[in-house]
Amino acid sequence: MISLRWLKDKNMFLRKNNISDKLQNRLQTSIQFSLNIAILVIGLISFTSGLKAQGKLFELSDTLSKPRLWIASATASSTFIATTIGLNEIWYKEFDRSKFHLFNDWNEWNNMDKFGHAFTAYFQNSFSYDVARWTGLKKKPSLIIGASLATIFQGTIEILDAHSEKWGFSVYDIAFNTAGVVLFSGQEILWDDQRFVLKVSNRFPKYNETPIVSNSGNEVSSVAERAEDLFGSAASTRFIKDYNGQTIWLSMNPGSFMSEENNFPKWLNIAIGYGAENLYGGFGNSWNFEDEVYVLSQADYPRARQMFISLDVDLKRIKVRKPFLRFLLKGLNVFKIPSPTLSFTQNKGIKFHPLYW
Q: What is the pLDDT of residues 7-22, one digit of tens each?
A: 333 333 333 333 344 4
Whether the pLDDT of residue 269 is over 90: the answer is yes
What is the C-alpha separation between 121 and 134, in angstroms, rounded?
20
With pLDDT > 70 as the criterion, what percentage of the chain qualifies? 85
Please answer whether residues 303 and 275 qualify as being in contact, where contact means their C-beta atoms are separated by less than 8 angstroms.
no
pLDDT at 42 exceeding the cut of 50: no
The 10s digit of each residue's pLDDT in 66-118 is 999 999 999 999 989 988 888 888 778 878 999 999 999 999 999 999 999 99
The reported pLDDT for the residue numbered 88 is 83
Count of residues making up the chain: 357
- The count of other CB atoms within 10 Å of the CB of residue 212 is 18
pLDDT tens string 129-172: 999 999 999 999 999 999 999 999 999 999 999 999 888 999 99
| The predicted structure's pLDDT at residue 16 | 37
Model confidence at 199: pLDDT above 60? yes
For 113, residues 6+ apart whose C-beta sits below 8 A from its C-beta are: 105, 173, 243
* Structural domain spans, the chain: 1-94, 100-193, 195-357
Tell me the whole-structure pTM to 2 decimals: 0.84
